[in-house]
Chains A and B, each alone.
Chain A
């Protein structure tokens, strides 16, 4: 059923001068899926994600996100997606509550809905005591969870996460993934880049990118079988070494 596909990418390419950052990648993502987008540093993951969310204009190829074209309908895509960048980009000098309210406002939610949503998120993250404190003072793990919650403030159909758990301990990462699962269970499609191979195991399907190209695509089990490896680490190393 075509309606099940929420991200459709066909030969998408991005060049910066002579350098091809993303080289004719092709894949589909289904509704409600957790799609892992793996690759070494500099493999082109962030560039690919930025084309899908309308921050970068592709050089060539086609892609539809939430049914909208990445060339002509970027603003419509933006209404339907949430995004959390690898660099924390909420306002550190605003309080937890103000950040959530701000993004609720930017996404055009009615005031009542903003208030309700804000209370909900604060409740869910257990940040009641810190709601009025500035975000800059939160520990990194909290910041990341808050950023994820804010990315979903307008109930988007897809949430893009670009290395969301960089620099935090395994327990905090585990908590983060629980949030991801909860969203996916509610029907939100998750598109996540990572280079933690244990996280790759949490995904429904993964693609592995090497030097701008997708070298492997499938469920973690399929990939391990295909490359006759015990762990995703092995799969990744085999691919990355070429």
Chain B
């Protein structure tokens, strides 16, 4: 019984040593990876800050004003003016959707070609031979 116990504990020690060895290297590689990622994050942050600065520089009001002047023929941009405010009454209501059953819904009990016709007054069906 005792030799078996010795062998088992020896194997356990070997196994644990192997596990610790692997964990050590895995930890070190994870730390290296983390360091690399943090360097990358830092450089990306720096690039982001630079791009923000460049965005701000390219969008400075002075330059936008010059661009608007240069491209006035195409864009027709002018400074916001008090007269550009509108009243709600100036906005037209959307055209009512006419559903089957409504009084204004066209009568299609007589099967005719109504393609392209939205008028409530039905055009008379074309006579034979009059199709283009």
Q: Do A and B come from one complex?
A: no
